[in-house]
Structure 1
Amino acid sequence: MAGGAVAVAGVVKDYPGKMTLFVFFTCLVASSGGLIFGYDIGISGGVTAMDSFLEKFFPAVYRKQNQETVTNQYCKFESQTLTLFTSSLYLAALIASFFASSATRAFGRRNSMLGGGATFLAGAVINGFAKNIAMLIVGRILLGIGVGFANQSVPLYLSEMAPARLRGMLNIGFQLMITIGILIANLINYGTSKISGGWGWRVGLGLAAVPAIIITLGALILPDTPNSLVERGQAEKAKTMLRRIRGSSDVQEEYDDLVAASDASKVVKHPWSTLSNRKYRPQLVMSFLIPMFQQLTGINMVMFYSPVLFKTIGFGDDASLMAAVITGLVNASATIVSILTVDRIGRRVLFLEGGVQMIIAQVVVGTLIGIKFGTSGQGDISKPYAIFVVLFICVFVSGFAWSWGPLGWLVPSEIFPLEIRSAAQSISVSVNMFFTFVVAQVFLMMMCHLKFALFYFFGAWVLMMTIFVFFFVPETKNVPIEEMTEVWKRHWYWSKYIDDDDRDVEMAATS
């Protein structure tokens, strides 16, 4: 079937499980790992829009934006050094995610979160007391290591702890925490920009220690997942934990499947090379394309640089920070919509609707900016016109927040079998961080050269990824993660990889 939808009724198992207070609490604490990622996304754009921060660390950019002769709005903030401040974190997270894969598999999801939170805390302290660019970059690298470990372990933890029927809702708690972190950071940016003496940026960067402490202390009290306990040879403890999180003593079938998956995992000595096997082709493709497309929506040009972006298109200092607060509020609110609907209407509907909504919004925003500033970058923007621009940016943000934002983390974390789960999640995180780094590093340069067409550029990517979802992404709602192979067996395209592998196994057994 060309749409890629999957009929799984009667094929996959339906394990017992319900929302228990214990599961809700553990998933809430674990999802707080998203706060560190979201806070950094929001705070970076705010401090880079503060004159005191630019004057101290990036004086060339400060002089450029304050020269009366500079009238090209598109190029006011172009600086590779300035963008390196933002993007260095994501390069560090990319590298750290490969080490996080081995740590998450060997020591468990909980300990990986603990290490990530502690490292992020160290980076926050260094950035808060930074005296020069070198200290800023060292702090950013430590923040990146923390993000790499948290983004590797938290989505896996949530998917493994949640009952299949509620996996989407509980996993999206991670994305909700990211959006809350962004919103809090935008509010702090708005408040600290008014501090006299020009040290408000130190408060913003230093307060990153708060979400770091939350996830570090939270990880100390969290239990590990049954999947991870079985994987590390703690079978009885895993069975006890499974009974507790499912709220039922009838867990034998799920437990047996976990043990079988663990036995298969132990046979795999080199999960990285195993990923190249033909039967894992669907998961490998998804681990690359879903995080890549998520970042090529263009969301980070709004979230990283929202104050800078709004100043670029003619907003004043306070107005640009307030507009960033508004988009942050929309982002968090729309994520709640995804939480309430993802396990009812499914992943594909949200993917497709969100894609269409983002395409329309990007075309409208690009056109509105083009009408006012053309290719010269010269012009003024009236208050009603500015409100209209913010309105459609909010339409874009909301489309992302209930589709590609949360689903970009949810779907990869739920489709990998245990034997390749840590390695595949590491690929997913590293691809996400790589494209986050690229977009963060080149955005201001692209704004200077592509001008208003930058929105059309990202809109074209959203069109491509929406087509990809329609044909190649199956529906995974309500399917236990240990039974996800059945989804690929019923897909119009991916089934051939599974069928070919099954035939190879049969031939080897009979020869």
Structure 2
Amino acid sequence: MSHDPSTTGVAERPNKSAVLRISIIAAFGGFLFGYDSAVINGAVSAIQEEFGVSPGPLGFAVASALLGAAAGAFFGGRIADRLGRVPVMKIAAVLFLVSAIGCGVVESFEWLIFWRVVGGVGVGVASIIAPAYIAEIAPASVRGRLGSLQQMGIVLGIFISLAVDAWLAALAGGSGEPLWWGLEAWRWMFMAEAVPALAYLIGAFTIPESPRYLVAEGRADEARAVLTDLQGEASATERVRLIQQTLRTERKPRMSDLKGRMAGLKPIVWVGIGLAALQQFVGINVIFYYSNVLWQSVGFTEADSFTITVITSVTNVVVTVVAIALVERVGRRRLLLIGSGGMTLMLGTLAVIFATAPLVDGAPVLGPTAGPVALVAANLFVVFFGVSWGPMMWVLLGEMFPNQIRGAALAVAGFVQWIANWVVTVTFPALAAASLGLAYGLYAFFALVSLLFTIRMVRETTGIELEDMAD
């Protein structure tokens, strides 16, 4: 999926309130992305007990949504080029809605996996559509901040889903206890997602189509009207002209466009793949998918584990606000470097704590000193991730590729991001059963790799127009 060029010869006069409203609605896909991904955290132990599954299949169930997300990310851009950005948002909203209800009423473990995959397709589509759409309607001067709304939506979705999980579990007296209509609390955790899914669907009916898509479909007058509302008439006329000029020299992106001399791909494509994979290989989603089980396994109660998880998600929201404030001022690359260094230290600390903790019945138990240190290190890890690799990866993927390969490159990077997420998620239960120290040592290694990768491979994109991005 291609993006709208932002270069104009006319000074921008953005209608900030209109641009912000539209961007927030688009980023609501990110909210559902975060909600759907993390909601299973509070249900993991109850699902294991309900269906009597071992750690391997349990890990697959938690990660199953990510397989759907990989498919949604890979094909979402092509579908959006054919149907339009807004119709695809509506499709994603419906997928979230039916998945939420399906997961809540399932009677078998296999059907739970099926409905998680359906929701995952919605997650994958939303993960690609939101940053692409925002980049196409946003003025260049605020593109980084508006692009960061995707990550803000994700972390708010994570926070709300974990808060809802904690509230429902407390109301029922446990995630596996019955609540309303005889359905267990964990089922209501999933079905609660129907509310934001409906809100996203309704919101999608209130926003305009991408100007870039409208021009590509021969609807230049409609595109000019949209841009006039968002940026003023003079700027709109110039942008439509530039879009038309770009489209005349472009053809539809193909995977063959990504071929290059660096192991078969262009170097910039490898940078995108590296960013997408390393964002997940540092193990961030272990915190949000498994933290309840993790903290219970080292001696905390279920209630305390829910509280810790909610506090961590609040921390994630706060630091994402900080990242949005800093992205244009500090720059994408510098934030990545700061984040990588901090994550390496915090993950290394967690690895040492878990590796040296005494074992009781084969599980590490944290003492009065190690427990608080581990909690602080885990939350500081979230801080360093949330201010850097969390939002910056999405911002960079939305803007770093040249126009002629952006659609194909974004599809590949999005696919890799979800596959990497799946690998980390599905392997954690087995890794944790073997050694938590080993698991966090592995994540610390990849955090160090992310630092070296950024130093060597990532270039700054702050202030560079989309039209000026090069291979």
TM-score, length basis structure 1: 0.84
Aligned pairs for 1:87-126 (under 5 A) are 87-126=63-102
| Alpha-carbon distance in structure 1 between the residues aligned to 2:268 and 2:23 | 25
Q: How far does residue 297 in structure 1 lie from its aligned partner after superposition?
A: 1.3
1:276 aligns with 2:259: yes
User: Would the aligned equivalents of 1:366 and 1:453 in 2 still touch at CA under 8 Å?
Assistant: yes
Q: Structure 1's 246 and 138: CA in aligned 2 closer, same or farther, altered over 3 A?
A: same
Which one of 101, 111, 122 corresponds to residue 146 of structure 1? 122
Q: How far does residue 36 in structure 1 lie from its aligned partner after superposition?
A: 1.3
Number of aligned positions between the proteins: 454
Q: Aligned letter for 1:158? A: I
Aligned pairs for 1:195-274 (under 5 A) are 195-196=172-173, 197-198=177-178, 199-247=184-232, 249-265=234-250, 267-268=251-252, 271-274=254-257
1:135 aligns with 2:111: yes
Q: Corresponding residue for 2:314?
A: 329
Q: How far does residue 413 in structure 1 lie from its aligned partner after superposition?
A: 1.0
User: Would the aligned equivalents of 1:17 and 1:248 in 2 still touch at CA under 8 Å?
Assistant: no
Q: How far does residue 417 in structure 1 lie from its aligned partner after superposition?
A: 3.7
Deviations 1:269-289 (A, max 9, x none): x52222225698243123311
Q: Structure 1's 347 and 375: CA in aligned 2 closer, same or farther, altered over 3 A?
A: farther
Which one of 326, 351, 358 corresponds to residue 366 of structure 1? 351
Q: Aligned letter for 2:93? A: G
| Alpha-carbon distance in structure 2 between the residues aligned to 1:350 and 1:105 | 32
Deviations 1:386-437 (A, max 9, x none): 2221111000001111110111111011123444333222212111111111
User: Would the aligned equivalents of 1:165 and 1:479 in 2 still touch at CA under 8 Å?
Assistant: no
User: Would the aligned equivalents of 1:361 and 1:392 in 2 still touch at CA under 8 Å?
Assistant: yes
Q: Corresponding residue for 2:48?
A: 54
User: Would the aligned equivalents of 2:131 and 2:395 in 1 still touch at CA under 8 Å?
Assistant: yes
Deviations 1:9-41 (A, max 9, x none): xx9978624352110100011101111111122
Aligned pairs for 1:380-391 (under 5 A) are 380-391=365-376
Gaps of 5+ in 1: 1-10, 62-78, 486-497, 499-511
User: Would the aligned equivalents of 1:109 and 1:225 in 2 still touch at CA under 8 Å?
Assistant: yes
Q: How far does residue 225 in structure 1 lie from its aligned partner after superposition?
A: 1.7
1:24 aligns with 2:28: no
User: Would the aligned equivalents of 1:262 and 1:418 in 2 still touch at CA under 8 Å?
Assistant: no
User: Would the aligned equivalents of 1:258 and 1:482 in 2 still touch at CA under 8 Å?
Assistant: no
Deviations 1:91-132 (A, max 9, x none): 112123333121111122211111111111111111111111
Q: How far does residue 381 in structure 1 lie from its aligned partner after superposition?
A: 2.6
SS in 1 for 2:234: coil
Aligned pairs for 1:66-81 (under 5 A) are 79-81=55-57
Aligned pairs for 1:174-213 (under 5 A) are 174-194=150-170, 195-196=172-173, 197-198=177-178, 199-213=184-198
| Alpha-carbon distance in structure 2 between the residues aligned to 1:478 and 1:243 | 23
1:42 aligns with 2:25: no
Q: Aligned letter for 1:131? A: E
1:465 aligns with 2:461: no
Q: Structure 1's 163 and 385: CA in aligned 2 closer, same or farther, altered over 3 A?
A: same
Q: Corresponding residue for 1:7?
A: none
Could you tell which deviates more after superposition, 367-376 or 355-364?
Answer: 367-376
| Alpha-carbon distance in structure 2 between the residues aligned to 1:131 and 1:229 | 45
| Alpha-carbon distance in structure 2 between the residues aligned to 1:287 and 1:428 | 6
Q: Aligned letter for 1:172? A: S
SS in 1 for 2:235: coil
Q: Structure 1's 190 and 383: CA in aligned 2 closer, same or farther, altered over 3 A?
A: farther
1:309 aligns with 2:294: yes
Q: Aligned letter for 1:272? A: M
Q: Structure 1's 292 and 247: CA in aligned 2 closer, same or farther, altered over 3 A?
A: same
Q: Corresponding residue for 2:3?
A: none
Q: Corresponding residue for 2:60?
A: 84
Q: Corresponding residue for 1:74?
A: none
| Alpha-carbon distance in structure 2 between the residues aligned to 1:366 and 1:375 | 18
| Alpha-carbon distance in structure 2 between the residues aligned to 1:330 and 1:164 | 29
Q: How far does residue 328 in structure 1 lie from its aligned partner after superposition?
A: 0.5
Q: Aligned letter for 1:387? A: P
1:348 aligns with 2:342: no
User: Would the aligned equivalents of 2:10 and 2:235 in 1 still touch at CA under 8 Å?
Assistant: no
Q: Corresponding residue for 1:3?
A: none
Q: Structure 1's 15 and 357: CA in aligned 2 closer, same or farther, altered over 3 A?
A: farther
Deviations 1:176-217 (A, max 9, x none): 111111111111121122205431101101111122112211
Q: How far does residue 348 in structure 1 lie from its aligned partner after superposition?
A: 0.9
Gaps of 5+ in 2: 1-6, 179-183
| Alpha-carbon distance in structure 1 between the residues aligned to 2:456 and 2:12 | 32
User: Would the aligned equivalents of 1:127 and 1:136 in 2 still touch at CA under 8 Å?
Assistant: yes
Q: How far does residue 377 in structure 1 lie from its aligned partner after superposition?
A: 4.0
Which one of 280, 288, 302 corresponds to residue 273 of structure 2? 288
User: Would the aligned equivalents of 1:13 and 1:480 in 2 still touch at CA under 8 Å?
Assistant: no
| Alpha-carbon distance in structure 2 between the residues aligned to 1:286 and 1:13 | 31
Q: How far does residue 236 in structure 1 lie from its aligned partner after superposition?
A: 2.2
User: Would the aligned equivalents of 1:12 and 1:479 in 2 still touch at CA under 8 Å?
Assistant: no
Q: Corresponding residue for 2:181?
A: none
| Alpha-carbon distance in structure 2 between the residues aligned to 1:201 and 1:472 | 43
| Alpha-carbon distance in structure 2 between the residues aligned to 1:49 and 1:21 | 44
Q: Corresponding residue for 2:383?
A: 398
Deviations 1:118-166 (A, max 9, x none): 1111111111111111221121111011112111211101112211121
1:167 aligns with 2:143: yes
Q: Aligned letter for 2:23? A: C
Q: Aligned letter for 1:457? A: L
| Alpha-carbon distance in structure 2 between the residues aligned to 1:335 and 1:271 | 34
Could you tell which deviates more after superposition, 210-219 or 400-409?
Answer: 210-219
Q: Structure 1's 375 and 351: CA in aligned 2 closer, same or farther, altered over 3 A?
A: farther
Q: Corresponding residue for 1:495?
A: none
Q: Corresponding residue for 2:469?
A: 484
| Alpha-carbon distance in structure 2 between the residues aligned to 1:421 and 1:29 | 23
Larger Rg: 1
Could you tell which deviates more after superposition, 345-354 or 474-483?
Answer: 474-483
Q: Structure 1's 211 and 420: CA in aligned 2 closer, same or farther, altered over 3 A?
A: farther
SS in 2 for 1:223: coil
